[in-house]
Amino acid sequence: MDGFNADLSGRTALVTGASSGIGRAISEVLLRNGAAVIGMQRRTEVRLDGEYTAVAADMSDPESVRAAGERVLAERRVDILVNNAGVNIRHPFEDFPLEDWDRVLQVNLRSVVELTQIVARPMLEREDGIVVNISSMLAFTGGMRASAYAASKGAIGQLTKSLANEWAHRGVRVNAIAPGFIDTDMNVALRADRVRDRQILERIPMGRWGLADDIAGAALFLASPAAHYVHGVVLPVDGGYLAR
């Protein structure tokens, strides 16, 4: 193949958590490059321009995830699955309420397992499909008071590698992105903590927080034919943070 081919015309992407932040930026770049996008989201009133359909789902509710996944597949062929929806609830580990632990693991990991099983089965039958998981830099580092989140995102990294091993020779390509510190709704409180904000900025070689759009290009690459020999990577997109 010659050069960078990101033409996604005729392809349909299912993006979870498409209503804001990184999921929204990924949806917009996929739309701009010719894909139709189905946004699986809690707030279905949020719509994007272009060939975009919103489908309601609450990723904290396994039944909702299953029903939404099956509803989409009953009507559409999904070529690209972007598992983006995620939540972080912070507590010191010794006091971490187990119901919050379960909620983080349900939204960030179990819903990914459930939806990927549903969406990938027809991909495997067609021997054609792409999965892009959104992990985190906390797959590599521990973070602060974010043990459930770090555990869930580390698991997403390992799940990505497991699925690549099982599916690379069956036409389904699975990779993950590990975003660094990205300025989205998820990090409003962290940015407001001036000490932590300064500590974080000092460690980022690029000297600034990431933007949701900084992640979109990596997602476009992994969703595109240009990445056809890339399998099972957890790709840091972090302004150099992990290199420090």
Which active-site residues does the annotation give? 149
Span 76-95, contacts to ligand NAP by CB under 6 A: 84-87
Name the residue nearer to ligand NAP (CB basis): 132 or 163: 132
Q: Are strands 234-237 and 172-179 parallel, antiparallel or unpaired?
A: parallel
Rounded Cα distance between 208 and 131, Å, is 29
CA separation for the pair 148, 104 (Å, rounded): 6
Let me know: does 97 contact 84? Beta carbons within 8 Å: no
**112: closest CA among 160, 178, 54?**
160
154-173 footprint of ligand NAP as x/- string (CB under 6 A): --------------------
Among 47-55, 66-74, 117-125, 179-187, the segment contacting ligand NAP (CB under 6 A): 179-187
Assess 109 for contact with ligand NAP (CB under 6 A). no
User: Does the CA dihedral 135-137-142-145 come out positive or negative?
Assistant: negative
Q: For residues 23 and 84, give the distance between their C-alpha atoms in angstroms, rounded to a whole number.
A: 6
Residue closer to ligand NAP by CB (options 86, 129) is 86
According to CB under 6 A, which one of 36, 37, 82, 134 is a site residue for ligand NAP?
134
Give the binding site for ligand NAP (CB under 6 A): 17, 19-23, 41-43, 57-60, 84-87, 107, 134, 136, 179, 181-182, 184-187, 212
